[in-house]
Structure formats: C-alpha cells, structure tokens
Structure 1
Amino acid sequence: MSIEAPQTAQQTEPTVLHASPAARSGAPFVETPVAYDAIVLASFGGPEGQDDVIPFLRNVTRGRGIPDERLEEVATHYRHFGGVSPINEQNRALKAALEEEIARRGLDLPIYWGNRNWHPFLEDAVSQAHADGHRTLLALATSAYSSYSSDRQYREDFARVLGSDEGGTGLGEGDDPVTIDKVRLFFDHPGFVEPFYEGVRDAVGRWLDDGYAASGIRLLFSTHSIPTGDAQRSGPRDRDFGEGGAYEAQHRAVAAHIVERLRAELPQAQDVDWNLVFQSRSGPPSQPWLEPDVNDVIAELPAQGVRAVAVVPLGFVSDHMEVLWDLDNEAKQSAAEAGLDFVRTRTPGVHPAFVRGLVDLIEERLDGTPAAERPHVTDLGPWFDVSRPGDCENARLGFRPAAAGIAP
C-alpha cells in the first residue's frame, strides 16, 4: 500500500518556492507533463587535493564553529587517499553515463553538475544553465532517502542559489525566472535497489557454495548515522514511521525487500539473517545518534554463531569516502578481529540498472506519469514529487526556505 496524501487544492498564490507551474499547487505528485530543458545533477562534493581538505571541511561544517584542529581529525581520512575524495570522479562518471542514456533515448536534455561543498558549486551550474538559455530545470540529487542532509538541505540549496540573499544568483526572481523541481526520492526504485541485490546474492551464493550454513551468514545493511532528532523529523508529519522516522523506515523496508527476494530466489538461504546498522557518526557523545554502530554489531556476531558477514552500503549511491574508510578499512578490520569472513558489497555507481532508473525518474516528470504507474519495491513508495509540509526539519536550525516542497 502506498503512502496516501491529500491532494492540495489549487491555490491562487504559489505554495512551492521556485517551482514550475505544474508543481506550484503543492500536490504530492505532478501528473502532467513538464517541458524541462535541462537537468541539474546535485551532489555533496569533495576535495581533490591535500590543500583542498580543510577548506572543504570548513564548508561542510559552516555555522557550527568547529576549529581546524577538530577538522584535522576527520581530514586524516582524506589525507590517507592523497587528499582526494572519490565522490567528484564518481559524479563525473555518473554524469557521462546519464548523458549517454539520455542521448540513447533521444532526449534533448543537457546535464549541469553542481555541489554543495566543493567545486563545481551549484551556483556555477545554475548560472551556466541560465547563460545557455535554460529556465525550467529538473534537479537530480545523489541521495536516495529522507533526511535533512540528504533531502531538505538540497532543496534549501536550490532556494538559496535561486534567491538573492546569502550570495544567491537571484535567477529565480524577476520576469524570466529559473525554476527548479526535484525528482522523487528513489530509495525503493528498482534501478537503485538492483545493484545492492546482486551484491547480496553473489556474496551469499559464494558462501553457500563453499559449504557455509545459511545460519552462519549475516547481512549488515549499513547507512550513515544521523542525529536521532533529525531522523524523527524525516518524512511527512502526518505519518508515524516509528522512532527513526522515515529515514530508518525506508532503509528497513528496502533491506527487507532484498532479503525476501534473496530467500525466494535462493531457497537454501532461508536462514540468512540481517540487521540494519549505522556508521560514520560525527556528533558529540552527548547527542543521540542512530544506532547500533556497524563495528559494535560485527564484534557480537561470533557469539551468535556467525562465520561470515556481508556489509551492504545501502545508504550510499557510490563508493564515497565513508564507504572506503569506514567500511573497507574499519569494518573490515573489525571483521578480521572477530575472525569472520568479510565482504563489502557494491554500491550502484554507474551500474546500468541504476543509470536507466535515474533516467526513468527524469522521464516520469517529463511525461507526468501517474503515481499509480510509478515503479517501487516497498509499500512506502512511490515517494512524493513535492515534499510535504514539515518534511525533514533540521532539529538544530529549524526551517529555512526550500524549493520543491510546501513551506511549513
């Protein structure tokens, strides 16, 4: 059963900032075609050299007053890889793959790539799109789930860039404004889920072939921990998603789907168990964050009769620094100390199913595909085109202007 949300009555004044005419009413799903003329690929950004690391981390933590000495503790992760985050190169590869698929389908849609925290910045991408004559933009953010940092903050970025305050471009104002809509969150789109399923199937299948008992295999679906207060505020306010909000509920639903499919396709895997775990916590000890930590869970597995563990980076679209450091380094070491066979399964990256799925999402908005016809693999989807009131509030900052959603 999909989430039901009341259709918002047509209003004389826009309720959604910087939206295309089709999205301004605030209806949850835009089911009329929109002639978008360009795509904005929006991402987090990352340093590309040792000299970039601290300035990048200052951008990430702006407004929080964190001294450089503290930032240097995190910087060691980047310095281990020469000061280069993999995320920018991964976005270049994704942009190229999307352009190839868009061209294959005969869609005339250029892609402009911009980041929140490092070059190329979103301001530059939107300004270039405007200079090239494009006014009706559709944003695709490289985050699949509901939370402040993975959803609302991108929508705040779009509003900030299009506005005239805080160094914005002002391009969303005046007689010929630029508009930005955003594709729906794709946590349960088949194209996003397929690469994770393939990784799980292959890892479990190899262990079963090697004689491991299914009960001795554990799947740990890992995602970025976030403050509990932000998790509780994720998702529409008129729906109770449980203690971890929509953020945790979405991950659990996708993980459950993958395991259910695994057991259906590999009957010998019936006794393979799983947990949702969290990683990459960065807040002070006094602040509650989502738990349990992946390393703590790994340490407990031998006492439960587990011999092999597959860590599935379910919260990540590609091999971000958190995957390379926190999983391929720290979690792998935890498994070695526990005497467990360890596999970290793949992220979607530029897997053909993922790339096709993202372009499918773009075509949904071009065509105005009815919500009832949109693919999704959990009962939580398909997610909304226009975020609902109060969705993904930041517990510390409250609400700031955001595009692609109804103002609180």
Structure 2
Amino acid sequence: MGGPSTLPEVGDFLSRLFHDRELIQLPFQSRLAPLIARRRTPKIEAQYAKIGGGSPILRWTRKQGAEMVKMLDELHPSTAPHKPYVAFRYARPLTEEALDEMVADGITRCVAFTQYPQYSCSTTGSNVNELYRQIQARIQQGDKDVERIRWSVIDRWPTHPGLVHAFANRVNAILQTFPEGPERDNVPIMFSAHSLPMQIVSGRGDPYPAEVAATVAAVMQVLGNRNPYRVTWQSQVGPSAWLGPQTSDTVKGWAKQGHKHAIAVPIAFTQDHIETLYELDIELKEEAEEHGMTLHRAESLNDEPKFLRALADICASHLAALTDGATQGSVLPGELTGGSQGVDHFSQGRTSRQFMLRCPGCMNNTCAESKQFFGAR
C-alpha cells in the first residue's frame, strides 16, 4: 500500500485508498471516496505526527531492496546486475512512476515481487491489477519501451523458511525478556494482521486468512509451540463487518481473564509503518495499560538478516527456475535446508499456481485479464 512520507501527502494517500474498489466497495464511490478522505485526513495526520511526521515504509522498503540486490547479484550472477524499484499502490512512488524509472533505465526484464507475504486480492491482487492497467494503457498509446518488458510475478511467500525464521527470531527476542520457566512459556501471543471486509473473505473466497494462518503455524512450529497464541486482526475501517477477532478486543478479553502480559506480533507486515508504530505501539499499548495488562510488541522485520536473505533467495530461485531451468522452489543454505522444509512451493513458474486460480466469487474482469497477461509473459 505504501504510506505518506510527509503530512501533506496524507490526503492524497487516503483518497487513492478509498477510491480502490478492490479494497473497499462503496455506493457512489467516486463521490463518497474524496469526502471520506477529507473527513479522515486531520485524524490520520495527527497519528502520523505522533510517529515522526510520516511513514517510514518507503525508507525501509528501499533499504530492503538495496540489501536484497547485493546478495542477489552473487546468488544469481547470470541476470546481474539487479536493481530494485518501488511501486506503491496509494503513496509515491506510484506504479506509473516506477514504470517511468524502468523505461528511463532501459529495463527489458522485470520481476513484480509483492512485499505482502500472504496474498489477498485486495492487496497484492489490487497492486498487480494496477500494474496491468498501467502497462496496457501505455501499450495502447504505442509505448514500445513498456511493451518489450518481460514480466514474471512473485505473488506470495507465506511459509518461506527465511520469513518464518525471521519472525521466530523477533518473537524469541521478546520471549527472552521474560524469566525462564512458566511465566515465559505461558505468556499469550497475538499474531496481528491487517483485517479485511467480510464481503471479500466470505463473498469472494479470498485466500488471505488461510495464508496468514499458515505463516503463524509455521512460526509456532519453529518456536516449538511453547506458548498459547491466537491470530487477531487490526485496522478495521467503517461500520461494515470485518474479519475478527479484532486485536484490541483480544487485549480487553485477555485482560478480563487475568492475563497481565501479552506479546503482539505484526505477522503480515514486513516493515514498520502506521499500523505498527501507532496502532500497536501507542493505541494498543495504552488500551492494554488501561485494562491492567502490559503489551510487548515484537520488532518488525525491517532489516532482520534472515529476512533480507530470504528476499534475495526467493528472487534468485524464481529467476533460476525461469532462466536456468533449475528446480522450482526457494532453498536456503545451512540450518534451513533439509527436505521439503527448505523449499517454498508457492514460487513456481512465471507466477505461482495459486495466482492463476481466481477466487470462487470473483466478479472482477481485470483479475482474469491480469492473470492471463502475467501468466503468459
């Protein structure tokens, strides 16, 4: 999604978000979206002001991309040098700006690599559809530079071993702050992910909840399933039904049951932004304190070494499968290898096999067109 880097960018960010029918569907959306965005802008600006005056997501994403390509050049030298481009959905740099950069650099081969580990048609799907629309618009205008770019897509990686071990490292760092023994082993863990409207989950059949659960189960397996845990959902917007239980309601419920501590893990985010720095670190911690509980938040992945290596490994394996005829799947060295445990079977061919399957309730023709376009390129 991206995030506004400065306070003056908040209004445009919200306007783009509420105009996106692949994320939120409203009656008379073209009229309502700008009204809702204007009404919410002062409140959201105040939240960004409390976390430093803007989102750090662009800074972290660029750092992650830079570190990834350093390793990628060594892991897959036949396609080096590699260069990362950032294409956000609602904040700059937008998809069209990334395409401008690529054309200026003379790029002819590109991997669209989602930074959402778990796929949703409202997040990765919306981003891929926007990329498809921008490409098609330029091709129709006779843009040969864009037309000659060959594409493939890394559309999900929820159980990649590097991702799983990186999350486990972050959780272990928090667990180590508790005394060894029953207190450490009994503190409950909330794996918090961005929620979705129920119309997307139950109406369309979106795979996101299942993929989040798969990540959580894999992380808990690495942790030895020592602690009790739940998957919870945050960032609900508007009065309609969203996926639950809400993270804030979970804190209140556990406090009533007598829990004095809880650990929050942002399981669907790969870098810090408003959902971690404000919603969890400020709002949720204050709520927990009001109910007599202390909330401990696991650090976001950001520049965690295993995570950065995982990004490079996923992309190297993807490129190897396409250019070298190597066995499909992402393999990490050292302690992460060992049979199928070291392979991410979500990464196959030009896209994953899952990507080519539309949601059972999908009514979006752009999804069908973009899947055909990227799957055949």
Aligned to 1:81: 51
Distance in 2 of aligned mates of 1:93 and 1:213: 33
Mapping 1:111-150, distance limit 5 Å? 111-150=84-123
- Is residue 165–residue 222 contact of structure 2 (8 Å, CA) maintained in 1? no
What percent of counterpart residues are identical?
A: 22
1:209 to 163, 172, 180: 180
Aligned to 1:257: 218
- Is residue 46–residue 118 contact of structure 1 (8 Å, CA) maintained in 2? yes
| Secondary structure at the counterpart of residue 232 of structure 2 | strand
Matched, 1:382 2:346: yes
The AA in structure 1 aligned to 2:172 is R
The AA in structure 2 aligned to 1:329 is I
Change (3 A) 1:170 1:183: farther
Distance apart, 1:211 and its partner CA: 6.3
Distance in 2 of aligned mates of 1:392 and 1:141: 22
- Is residue 147–residue 392 contact of structure 1 (8 Å, CA) maintained in 2? no
Mapping 1:20-31, distance limit 5 Å? none
- Is residue 188–residue 254 contact of structure 1 (8 Å, CA) maintained in 2? yes
| Secondary structure at the counterpart of residue 55 of structure 2 | coil
| Secondary structure at the counterpart of residue 310 of structure 1 | strand
**Structure 1 unaligned runs (5+)?**
1-43, 236-244
Change (3 A) 1:367 1:51: same
Aligned to 1:94: 64
| Secondary structure at the counterpart of residue 106 of structure 2 | coil
Matched, 1:246 2:219: no
Distance in 2 of aligned mates of 1:152 and 1:60: 14
1:220 to 172, 190, 209: 190
**TM-score, normalized by length of structure 2?**
0.80
- Is residue 110–residue 152 contact of structure 2 (8 Å, CA) maintained in 1? yes
Matched, 1:187 2:151: no
Distance apart, 1:254 and its partner CA: 1.8
Distance in 2 of aligned mates of 1:327 and 1:150: 21
Tell me how many residue pairs correspond in the alignment.
Answer: 343
User: What do the CA deviations read for 1:208-249 (whole angstroms, capped 9, x no partner)?
Assistant: 42862633x1000000001112123677xxxxxxxxx52111
- Is residue 137–residue 179 contact of structure 1 (8 Å, CA) maintained in 2? yes
When the two chains are superposed, the root-mean-square deviation of aligned CA atoms in Å is 3.1
Change (3 A) 1:403 1:179: farther
| Secondary structure at the counterpart of residue 276 of structure 1 | strand
User: What do the CA deviations read for 1:55-111 (whole angstroms, capped 9, x no partner)?
Assistant: 222122226323112343333322333541111111221122123223444432122
- Is residue 204–residue 359 contact of structure 2 (8 Å, CA) maintained in 1? yes
For structure 1, which segment, 305-314 or 90-99, has the greater mean C-alpha deviation from structure 2 after superposition?
90-99
Aligned to 1:230: 200
Distance in 1 of aligned mates of 2:95 and 2:141: 10
**TM-score, normalized by length of structure 1?**
0.75
The AA in structure 2 aligned to 1:276 is V
Distance in 1 of aligned mates of 2:312 and 2:344: 21
User: What do the CA deviations read for 1:310-354 (whole angstroms, capped 9, x no partner)?
Assistant: 001001011121111111111111221222232100222121211
Aligned to 1:400: 366
Mapping 1:9-408, distance limit 5 Å? 44-62=1-19, 64=29, 65-66=32-33, 67=35, 68-81=38-51, 83-105=53-75, 106=77, 107-164=80-137, 171=143, 177-209=148-180, 212=183, 214-215=185-186, 217-232=187-202, 245-263=206-224, 269=226, 272-282=227-237, 284-285=238-239, 287-368=240-321, 369-371=326-328, 381-382=345-346, 385-386=351-352, 387-391=355-359, 398-401=364-367, 405-406=371-372
| Secondary structure at the counterpart of residue 74 of structure 1 | helix
Distance in 2 of aligned mates of 1:372 and 1:149: 25
User: What do the CA deviations read for 1:146-175 (whole angstroms, capped 9, x no partner)?
Assistant: 21232211111211121127x98764799x
The AA in structure 1 aligned to 2:135 is L
Distance in 1 of aligned mates of 2:48 and 2:314: 33
For structure 1, which segment, 65-74 or 187-196, has the greater mean C-alpha deviation from structure 2 after superposition?
65-74
| Secondary structure at the counterpart of residue 334 of structure 1 | helix
The AA in structure 2 aligned to 1:110 is K
Distance apart, 1:260 and its partner CA: 2.6
| Secondary structure at the counterpart of residue 149 of structure 1 | coil
For structure 1, which segment, 366-375 or 49-58, has the greater mean C-alpha deviation from structure 2 after superposition?
366-375
**Structure 2 unaligned runs (5+)?**
21-28, 333-339
The structure that is helix-richer by fraction is 2
The AA in structure 1 aligned to 2:17 is V
| Secondary structure at the counterpart of residue 85 of structure 2 | strand
Change (3 A) 1:260 1:70: same
Higher relative contact order (CA 8 A, sep 6+): 1
- Is residue 129–residue 370 contact of structure 2 (8 Å, CA) maintained in 1? no
The AA in structure 2 aligned to 1:390 is R
| Secondary structure at the counterpart of residue 322 of structure 1 | helix
